């Protein structure tokens, strides 16, 4: 099978449909960082961090796109002089025409992203978001003639409205009567100009994620028979069950805490720093890829026996307080499977496009 070339923006689109950029944290910089969206990509190299060593690897492998988890440009650039390895890597990428794309906290925050890859390694199947995000959901209410509700709902469902957890095509409708009087300049689909018209209509309600709202509105306007569509958009305070930080889940049965710590070390490598084992068996596990210490209280509040993450400071270990077992496995170690995760996603969508996994560890920390 001949390897296929792709436009850079079609690769970005594939990643962003999975991990929308709007779901990244405010401090983050997930996006296409370097490269022209219309450029042709022959092969992509996936890694956690972009170092000059990784750029060399991309050159050697003929990859003209590097997709990393951590953004190479993070806090903004005022100069680019090669004063550190990140700048050297960027200069080398520019000189060799290698595009750079980062998929960071947006991939942390989606339910089938970084944290689900960690959960699978831990042996969990039923997983929930530990700290679901709020203010990401809207309620869209639209008034539609009875005869047209089905066509309209199907178009809106197709555009992404009406999804709740594992359920699609969710909606609610009530019947009522709409009134309107078309002016001389109007083009009414029902009734006559200048005469008040009454129409049996449905009030159709659907849940819409904020990031697809514009798309759904566009489709709604096109599928609706009326010239002027009457609709309302409401902000919801409901947490989004599938978007947020960290995850938790239950093991099929309780296991010995020390055995589970050994299992973690076997799966993730590196070293495991952990707090006092205050109970013999554990069942509910919470975890967060990257620096997740800010979620410790959340993990306690869902009754987790163990919280796995990385980058805990000395004093934070005290906060386990015999209520939970903290297991700090290292930042690189807990995010390492993100590389396979990104590669698998792209390979599924583009089976004959060359997606390469880096063969170099970018972990800056060594252990003896
Ligand atoms: Zn990270």
Q: Looking at residue 315, which CATH number applies to its domain?
A: 3.40.1390.30
Distance between Cα 122 and ligand 1 center (Å): 18
Distance between Cα 335 and ligand 1 center (Å): 6
Distance between Cα 97 and ligand 1 center (Å): 26
Do 124 and 266 belong to one domain? yes
Distance between Cα 290 and ligand 1 center (Å): 4
Do 100 and 172 belong to one domain? no
Do 121 and 261 belong to one domain? yes
Which single residue is written with the structure tokens 């819409």?
208
Task: State the Cα–Cα distance between residues 332 and 337, nearest whole angstrom.
Answer: 9
Q: Looking at residue 150, which CATH number applies to its domain?
A: 3.30.70.120
Q: Give the mean pLDDT of 262-280.
A: 95
Cα–Cα distances (Å) from 147 to 211, 220, 254, in that order, read 29, 15, 55
Do 115 and 258 belong to one domain? yes
Distance between Cα 287 and ligand 1 center (Å): 13
Q: Which helix (H) or strand (E) segment is 348 a member of? A: helix 338-349
Q: Which domain holds residue 187?
A: 137-235
The answer to the question of residue 43 being in a domain is: yes
The model's pLDDT over 71-107, given as tens digits with 9 standing for 90+, comes to: 999 988 899 999 999 999 999 999 999 999 999 999 9
Helix axes 114-122, 338-349, angle to 10 degrees: 110
Distance between Cα 71 and ligand 1 center (Å): 10
Q: Which of 271, 276, 259 is nearest to 330 (CA)?
A: 271
* Helix and strand counts by DSSP (H, E) for the chain: 12, 17
Residues 104 and 28 sit within 8 Å (Cβ to Cβ): yes
The model's pLDDT over 134-159, given as tens digits with 9 standing for 90+, comes to: 999 999 999 999 999 999 999 999 99
Q: Which of 142, 215, 221, 125 is nearest to 178 (CA)?
A: 142
- Write down which residue in 176, 211, 235 finishes a domain: 235
Do 325 and 204 belong to one domain? no
Phi, psi of 305 (to 5 degrees): -85, -30
Distance between Cα 291 and ligand 1 center (Å): 7
pLDDT at 129 over 70: yes
Distance between Cα 115 and ligand 1 center (Å): 11
Distance between Cα 180 and ligand 1 center (Å): 56
> Can you give the pLDDT at residue 247?
98
Distance between Cα 308 and ligand 1 center (Å): 14
Number of domains in the chain: 3
Do 120 and 170 belong to one domain? no
Distance between Cα 239 and ligand 1 center (Å): 24
Distance between Cα 54 and ligand 1 center (Å): 17
Do 191 and 255 belong to one domain? no
Do 64 and 21 belong to one domain? yes
> Can you give the pLDDT at residue 166?
82
The answer to the question of residue 1 being in a domain is: no
Task: State the Cα–Cα distance between residues 172 and 178, nearest whole angstrom.
Answer: 17
Task: State the Cα–Cα distance between residues 170 and 281, nearest whole angstrom.
Answer: 40
DSSP letter for each residue of 54-98: HHHHHHHHT--EEEESS-SS-S--S--S--SHHHHHHHHHHHTT-
Q: Give the mean pLDDT of 51-72.
A: 97
The answer to the question of residue 298 being in a domain is: yes
Residues 355 and 40 sit within 8 Å (Cβ to Cβ): no
Do 259 and 123 belong to one domain? yes
Give Cα 183 to chain centroid, integer Å.
Answer: 47
Distance between Cα 323 and ligand 1 center (Å): 26
The model's pLDDT over 342-354, given as tens digits with 9 standing for 90+, comes to: 999 999 999 999 9
Q: Which residues pair with 65 in a beta bridge?
A: 44, 99
The answer to the question of residue 148 being in a domain is: yes
Which single residue is written with the structure tokens 């699609």?
168
The answer to the question of residue 364 being in a domain is: no
The model's pLDDT over 167-197, given as tens digits with 9 standing for 90+, comes to: 999 999 999 999 999 999 999 999 999 999 9
Distance between Cα 41 and ligand 1 center (Å): 26
Mean of the per-residue pLDDT values of the chain: 95
pLDDT tier at 231, thresholds 50, 70, 90: very high
Residues 346 and 311 sit within 8 Å (Cβ to Cβ): no
pLDDT at 1 over 60: no
Do 80 and 151 belong to one domain? no
**Residue 95's CB: how many other CB atoms inside 10 A?**
10
The model's pLDDT over 278-312, given as tens digits with 9 standing for 90+, comes to: 999 999 999 999 999 999 999 999 999 999 999 99
- Write down which residue in 235, 268, 297 finishes a domain: 235
Q: Which residues pair with 353 in a beta bridge?
A: 4
The answer to the question of residue 11 being in a domain is: yes
Distance between Cα 69 and ligand 1 center (Å): 7
Distance between Cα 105 and ligand 1 center (Å): 8
Distance between Cα 82 and ligand 1 center (Å): 23
Q: Which of 226, 166, 171, 163 is nearest to 199 (CA)?
A: 226
Do 191 and 248 belong to one domain? no
The answer to the question of residue 193 being in a domain is: yes
Distance between Cα 104 and ligand 1 center (Å): 7
- Write down which residue in 235, 253, 283 finishes a domain: 235
The model's pLDDT over 38-56, given as tens digits with 9 standing for 90+, comes to: 999 999 999 999 999 999 9
Sheet holding 31-34, edge to edge: 31-34, 99-102, 65-68, 43-47, 354-357
Do 12 and 81 belong to one domain? yes
55 CB-side CA count, 13 A:
22
Distance between Cα 332 and ligand 1 center (Å): 7
The answer to the question of residue 368 being in a domain is: no
> Can you give the pLDDT at residue 164?
84
HEC string of 283-345 equals: EEEEEEEEECHHHHHHHHHCCCCEEEEECCCHHHHHCCCCCCEEEECCHHHHHCCHHHHHHHH
pLDDT at 237 over 70: yes
Q: Give the mean pLDDT of 249-253.
A: 96
């Amino acid at each position: 099978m001949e390897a296929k070339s792709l436009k850079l923006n079609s690769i970005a689109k594939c990643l962003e449909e999975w991990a929308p950029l709007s779901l990244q944290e405010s401090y983050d910089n997930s996006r296409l960082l370097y490269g022209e969206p219309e450029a042709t990509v022959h092969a992509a190299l996936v890694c956690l961090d972009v170092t000059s060593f990784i750029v060399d690897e991309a050159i050697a492998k003929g990859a003209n796109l590097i997709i990393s988890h951590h953004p190479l440009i993070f806090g903004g650039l005022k100069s680019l002089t090669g004063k550190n390895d990140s700048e050297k890597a960027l200069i080398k990428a520019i000189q060799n025409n290698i595009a750079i794309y980062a998929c960071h906290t947006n991939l942390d925050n989606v339910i089938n992203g970084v944290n689900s890859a960690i959960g699978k390694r831990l042996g969990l199947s039923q997983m929930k978001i530990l700290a679901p995000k709020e203010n990401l959901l809207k309620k869209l209410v639209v008034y539609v003639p009875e005869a047209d509700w089905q066509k309209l709902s199907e178009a809106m469902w197709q555009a992404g409205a009406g999804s709740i957890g594992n359920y699609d095509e969710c909606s609610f409708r009530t019947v009522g009567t709409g009134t309107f009087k078309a002016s001389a300049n109007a083009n009414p689909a029902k009734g006559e100009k200048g005469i008040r018209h009454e129409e049996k209509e449905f009030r159709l309600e659907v849940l819409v994620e904020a990031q697809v709202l514009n798309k759904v509105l566009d489709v709604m306007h096109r599928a609706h028979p009326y010239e002027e569509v009457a609709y309302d958009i409401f902000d919801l305070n409901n947490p989004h069950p599938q978007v947020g930080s960290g995850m938790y889940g239950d093991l099929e049965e309780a296991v010995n805490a020390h055995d589970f710590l050994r299992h973690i070390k076997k799966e993730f490598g590196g070293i495991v720093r952990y707090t006092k084992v205050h109970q013999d068996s554990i069942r509910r596990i919470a975890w967060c890829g990257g620096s997740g210490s800010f979620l410790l209280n959340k993990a306690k509040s869902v009754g987790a026996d163990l919280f796995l993450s990385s980058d805990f400071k000395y004093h934070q270990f005290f906060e386990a307080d015999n209520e939970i077992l903290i297991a700090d496995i290292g930042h690189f170690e807990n995010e390492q499977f993100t590389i396979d995760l990104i590669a698998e996603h792209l390979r599924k969508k583009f089976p004959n496009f060359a997606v390469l996994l880096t063969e170099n560890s970018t972990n800056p920390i060594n252990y003896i």
